[in-house]
């Protein structure tokens, strides 16, 4: 830029000189013009003609000399005019680029000034908005500039501190001595500084700042002008580091304490010494957890506080009682600012605390696995506002101590198991030769006396199963001079292997420079290790069957999914097994027999599988199998068939021959699966489909099953709104007296008219309602609506005084309060119990026979008729049947429809009718669809029947038309006689 300016100046000077030369020529030319015109008056310019006489002398004749001079002047003038013209042109050509360059320079300078202004604005913004501290001090240490962040943090305005002495204003007195050295280093040696210093805020708080700065010197005089510093507030970081060091120190010292009481004493002492409080105590829950009692372990600073500690031994606190009980129950720290302001109910020890001069206190719990091990309480002799940071720090310490205390308690409990066990004490030389051992050490290693070890120049490394563990122990001792809880396996004298842990230290000479020997103790922890191994085993195995458990199976399945994603050729399959009828077996024979059955099933499943297959008990009666590296789906199906064939064989349990089976869902690996839960979900869906298909089979999952599962989920959601939105309807199918043709009653049948899907079959939505737990509410709605309809018909049709309404009950409705619910409905609808008949399935009453007998007897006292629905298809024991106060057995439609096709079914219907008569019950046949079935049932003396032969289920209006109808004689026409259906 400077060179360009010099070039421009040179160019201007040259152009200016030329310009002055040309200007001089022009002036000279101007002086010649009058002379020229005096010499040639006859060639005057027109503007002078008017005044010629006044200006010029009279003309005279020109001489030859004058003409010569005139010609010479004319020639000279012409030459000069040419020169002038050329100079003017040159001047124009010279000035134009000069002007262009000057204009460009002006524009460039303007741009530079704008950029400089922007840079200045940006620098000012950066200075003010920077989260770091910036400060400028003059040579006398006076504050000249400070950025907004530092001003805001310290609590000042710039006007307050500008010109003030930095050291006197911001540096704590105890730190002032370090500053001269810092400035001397910076000024004399002209080195940048990096230092951590404490500074004061306006309200007296101390901050720790990490400063980076340097001295600025005048370039011309080389004198120190001012100091520029940039700093970061590292107060929180420093405090966190100090707290971490404190936490590590306390944890370490507590960890090395020999027992729980020593660890407690160390913790109380270190906390009190660290925070500067005078008293610390510990409250330990009673072994039965009913109250807390004061531990004799404590910390106090002062003789009078020893008496306070002694008096505390007489107190015990229940949960939620006083400060200690509240902390125990809430598991949260609590602070007392002023003990004198506390009520005795809130702080029971107020009186004695005041007596001993205690002013404030706080407490923290030590919690492990949601259980309070100890409540630590601290007191001081001055009032203290609640310090959240201190509470958080001590709470963090308490969290760390919890694990240590738990281990200490476990160690104490472990040692108490071995009542007569003592530690083995030993001394060995630097190369590991025994110097001395105690009898306990010899006993642990299986020797009869210590002499057997020390008298034969024996070395301790010989007992280590792995010699590298011995050398590792020695290396640690040489580095740290002590080790704790060093675990190793060692040989006993009989060559058996045990586990020990050792605490060893190096004994140094008087100057603490050289190791003389090592000494330490060992404890036999073999039993502890065995227990640990059992725990690890239990963490991955089912305790009943010793198969892998759910957690292990999911972990293996997760690994299989990862392998499937990474290796395209890798395939696996999962089998999900659920036992058929296990609940009935468990309830009938007891849980002990059920457990034994599960054990036997596990044994059979192991035989059916390969060694690499993973078999797990998922829970209850559910098992899962992971088949890896299976070649073809047919191989998986063969394994499933082998499993089902094995489980169909009878089991002998305590003299009882038990038959069971399994429904199996199969899922093959796919890249679509990312989580184990997705695989198990689809396997469970396939297993559910297998149960729907009749149990005792297997089903391979496909995508349509997931659609069905989503369909069931959607039905559950819609069912929750169906009652509220009045989407349910009741249809009524007449029940006919086969002896006289009269309508004896109606069976109320539930129908669902979905607003979008239209009619949905009960066979589809009733199981879904039972799964979702909605069937109880739906069943009450059906019972209420059916009773209301019966009352309405009773009022309209007096000719049917014996008309009854049959209502089906779900097994989930069969509860202890069923009678009370029915009482409310009968009272509300004004229907008598004798006009109601309840139909209950065999499965429902056999799920809990004793409850069924009690509930049925309560219903019988209300004169309600009771009917076992679908008799012959369930598991009703004949031994129980005579105990049930049942009035009717309803023959399932599957038997009635097959009477003319299967002789066994016809005989079974005959047996059921005869059984009903022998027990004083009526029989109803459902599903009558032909005249032949009607005649056959009449010949068997079946009293009642229903079915499409008589009428399909009718809506209320259609049922009323049927009640108004005069005759259905054609339904009872026979070749030998005619029986009329009386309406």
How much is the mean pLDDT over the chain?
A: 82
Between 74 and 943, the higher pLDDT residue: 943
* Residue in this structure with the two tokens 């001295």, named with its chain if needed: 215
- Per-residue pLDDT tens over the stretch 483-495: 998 999 999 989 8
Confidence of residue 36 (pLDDT cuts 50, 70, 90): very low
Report how far residue 199's alpha carbon sits from residue 168's, in angstroms, rounded to the nearest whole number. Answer: 10
Q: What is the pLDDT of residue 43?
A: 46
Query: Tens digit of pLDDT for each residue in 135-157?
Result: 898 888 889 889 888 898 899 99
Angstrom distance (rounded) from CA 217 to CA 213: 13
Least confident of 35-44, 123-132, 353-362: 35-44
User: Tell me: the pLDDT tens digits for 737-750?
Assistant: 998 888 889 999 99
What band does 42 get if pLDDT is binned at 50, 70 and 90?
A: very low
What 113-119 contacts at long range (C-beta under 8 Å, 24+ apart), as own/partner pairs, is none
pLDDT digits (tens, 9 = 90+) for 594-650: 899 999 999 999 999 988 999 999 989 999 999 998 777 888 999 999 999 999 888
Alpha carbon separation from 542 to 129, 583, 604 (Å, rounded):
63, 20, 16
CA distances to 593, 601, 637, 873 from 690, rounded to whole Å, are: 26, 19, 14, 19
**Which helix (H) or strand (E) segment is 262 a member of?**
helix 260-275
pLDDT-derived band at 427, boundaries 50, 70, 90: confident
* pTM exceeding 0.85: no
- pLDDT: is 508 or 771 the higher one? 508
Rounded Cα distance, 264 and 254, in Å: 8
Separation CA 167–CA 174 (nearest Å): 11
> What average pLDDT does the segment 24-39 reach?
50
Q: Which residues of 150-159 are buried (b: 16+ CB within 10 A; e: fewer)?
A: bbebbebeee
Long-range contacts of 245-254 (CB under 8 A, 24+ apart): 246/274, 246/393, 246/397, 247/393, 247/396, 247/397, 247/400, 250/274, 250/397, 250/400, 250/401, 251/397, 251/400, 251/401, 251/404, 254/401, 254/404, 254/405
pLDDT at 658: 85
Instruction: With CA atoms as reference, report the closest residue to 639 among 666, 602, 660.
Output: 666
Which residues in 15-28 are b (16+ Cβ under 10 Å) and which e?
beeebeebeebeee
Query: How many helices and strands in the chain, by DSSP H and E?
Result: 33, 32
Tokens 């009323």 appear where?
960
CB distance 684 to 576 below 8 Å? yes
- β-strands 371-380, 279-285 pairing: antiparallel
Residue 361, exposed/middle/buried by CB under 10 A (0-12, 13-18, 19+)?
buried
d(CA 385, CA 139): 43
pLDDT band at 12 (very low <50, low <70, confident <90, very high): very low
* DSSP 8-state assignment for residue 954: B
- DSSP assignment letter at 144: E
CA distance 627 to 709: 25
Residues 247-252, mean pLDDT to the nearest whole number = 78
DSSP conformation letters of 860-905: HHTT-EEEEEEETSS---HHHHTTS---EEEEPHHHHTTTTT-HHH
Task: Quote the tokens at residue 366.
Answer: 């030590």
């Amino acid at each position: 830029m400077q060179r360009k300016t010099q070039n421009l100046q040179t160019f201007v000077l040259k152009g200016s000189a030329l310009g002055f030369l040309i200007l001089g020529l022009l002036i000279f030319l101007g002086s010649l013009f009058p002379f020229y015109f005096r010499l040639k008056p006859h060639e005057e310019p027109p503007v002078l003609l008017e005044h010629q006489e006044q200006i010029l002398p009279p003309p005279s004749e020109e001489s030859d000399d004058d003409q010569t001079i005139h010609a010479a002047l004319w020639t000279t003038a012409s030459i000069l005019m040419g020169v002038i013209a050329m100079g003017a042109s040159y001047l124009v050509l010279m000035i134009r680029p000069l002007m262009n360059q000057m204009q460009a320079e002006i524009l460039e300078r303007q741009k530079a000034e704008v950029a400089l202004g922007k840079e200045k604005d940006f620098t000012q913004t950066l200075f003010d908005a920077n989260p770091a501290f910036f400060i400028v001090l003059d040579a006398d240490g006076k504050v000249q500039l400070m950025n907004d962040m530092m001003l805001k943090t310290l609590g000042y305005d710039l006007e307050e501190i500008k010109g003030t002495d930095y050291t006197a204003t911001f540096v704590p007195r105890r730190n002032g001595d370090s500053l001269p050295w810092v400035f001397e280093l910076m000024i004399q040696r002209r080195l940048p500084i990096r230092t951590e210093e404490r500074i004061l805020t306006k309200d007296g708080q101390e901050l720790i700042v990490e400063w980076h700065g340097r001295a600025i010197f005048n370039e011309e005089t080389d004198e120190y002008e001012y100091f520029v510093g940039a700093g970061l507030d590292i107060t929180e970081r420093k405090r966190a580091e100090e707290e971490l060091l404190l936490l590590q120190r306390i944890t370490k010292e507590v960890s090395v304490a020999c027992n729980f009481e020593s660890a407690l004493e160390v913790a109380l002492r270190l906390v009190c010494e660290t925070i500067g409080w005078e008293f610390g105590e510990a409250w330990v829950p009673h072994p039965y957890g009913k109250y807390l009692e004061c531990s004799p372990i404590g910390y106090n600073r002062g003789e009078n506080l020893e008496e306070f500690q002694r008096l505390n031994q007489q107190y015990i606190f229940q949960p939620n009682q006083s400060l200690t009980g509240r902390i125990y129950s809430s598991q949260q720290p609590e602070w007392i600012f002023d003990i004198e302001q506390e009520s005795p109910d809130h702080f029971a020890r107020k009186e004695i605390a005041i007596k001993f001069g205690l002013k404030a206190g706080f407490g923290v719990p030590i919690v492990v696995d949601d259980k309070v091990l100890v409540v630590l309480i601290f007191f001081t002799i001055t009032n203290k506002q609640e310090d959240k940071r201190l509470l958080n720090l001590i709470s963090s310490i308490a969290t760390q101590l919890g694990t240590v205390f738990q281990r200490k308690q476990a160690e104490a409990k472990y040692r108490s198991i071995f009542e007569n066990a003592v530690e083995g004490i030993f001394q060995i030389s630097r190369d590991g030769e025994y110097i001395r051992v105690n009898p306990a050490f010899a006993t642990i290693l299986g020797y009869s006396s210590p002499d057997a070890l020390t008298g034969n120049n024996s070395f301790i490394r010989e007992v280590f199963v792995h010699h590298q563990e011995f050398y590792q122990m020695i290396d640690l001792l040489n580095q740290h001079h002590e080790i704790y809880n060093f675990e190793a396996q060692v040989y006993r004298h009989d060559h058996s292997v045990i586990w020990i842990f050792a605490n060893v230290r190096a004994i140094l000479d008087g100057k603490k420079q050289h190791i003389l020997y090592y000494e330490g103790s060992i404890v036999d922890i073999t039993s502890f290790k065995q227990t640990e191994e059992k725990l690890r085993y239990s963490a991955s195995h089912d305790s009943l069957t010793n198969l892998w458990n759910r957690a292990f199976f999911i972990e293996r399945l997760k690994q299989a999914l990862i392998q499937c994603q990474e290796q395209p050729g890798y395939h696996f399959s999962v089998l999900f097994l659920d036992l058929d009828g296990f609940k009935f077996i468990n309830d009938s024979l007891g849980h002990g027999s059920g457990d034994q059955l599960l054990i036997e099933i596990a044994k059979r499943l192991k035989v059916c599988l390969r060694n690499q297959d993973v078999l797990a008990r998922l829970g209850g009666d559910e098992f899962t199998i992971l088949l890896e590296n299976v070649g073809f789906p047919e191989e998986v199906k063969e394994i499933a068939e082998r499993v089902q064939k094995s489980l169909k064989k009878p089991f002998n349990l305590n003299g009882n021959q038990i038959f069971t089976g399994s429904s199996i869902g199969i899922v093959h690996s796919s890249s679509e699966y990312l989580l184990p839960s997705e695989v198990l979900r689809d396997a469970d869906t396939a297993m559910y489909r297998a149960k729907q298909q009749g149990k005792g089979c297997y089903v391979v999952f496909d995508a349509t099953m997931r659609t069905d599962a989503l369909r069931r989920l959607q039905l559950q959601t819609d069912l929750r709104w169906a009652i509220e939105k009045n989407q349910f309807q009741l249809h009524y199918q007449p029940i006919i007296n086969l002896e006289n043709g009269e309508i004896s009653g109606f069976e109320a049948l539930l129908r669902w008219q979905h607003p979008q899907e239209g009619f949905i079959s009960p066979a589809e939505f009733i199981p879904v309602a039972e799964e979702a737990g909605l069937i109880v509410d739906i069943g009450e709605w059906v019972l209420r609506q059916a009773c209301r309809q019966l009352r309405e018909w009773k009022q309209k049709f007096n000719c049917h005084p014996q008309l009854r309404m049959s209502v089906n009950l779900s097994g989930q409705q069969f509860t202890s309060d069923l009678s009370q619910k029915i009482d409310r409905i009968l009272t509300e609808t004004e229907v008598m119990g004798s006009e109601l008949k309840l139909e209950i399935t065999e499965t429902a009453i056999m799920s809990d026979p004793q409850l069924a007998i009690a509930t049925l007897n309560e219903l019988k006292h209300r004169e309600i008729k009771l009917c076992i629905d679908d008799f012959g298809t369930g598991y009703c024991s004949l031994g129980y049947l005579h105990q049930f106060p049942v009035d009717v057995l309803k023959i399932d439609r599957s038997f009635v429809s097959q009477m003319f096709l299967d002789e066994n079914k016809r005989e079974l219907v005959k047996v059921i009718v005869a059984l009903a008569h022998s027990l004083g019950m009526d029989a109803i046949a459902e599903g009558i669809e032909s005249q032949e079935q009607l005649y056959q049932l009449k010949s068997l003396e079946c009293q009642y029947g229903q079915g499409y032969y008589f009428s399909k289920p009718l809506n209320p209006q259609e049922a009323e038309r049927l009640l108004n109808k005069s005759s259905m004689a054609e339904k009872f026409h026979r070749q030998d006689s005619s029986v009329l259906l009386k309406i």
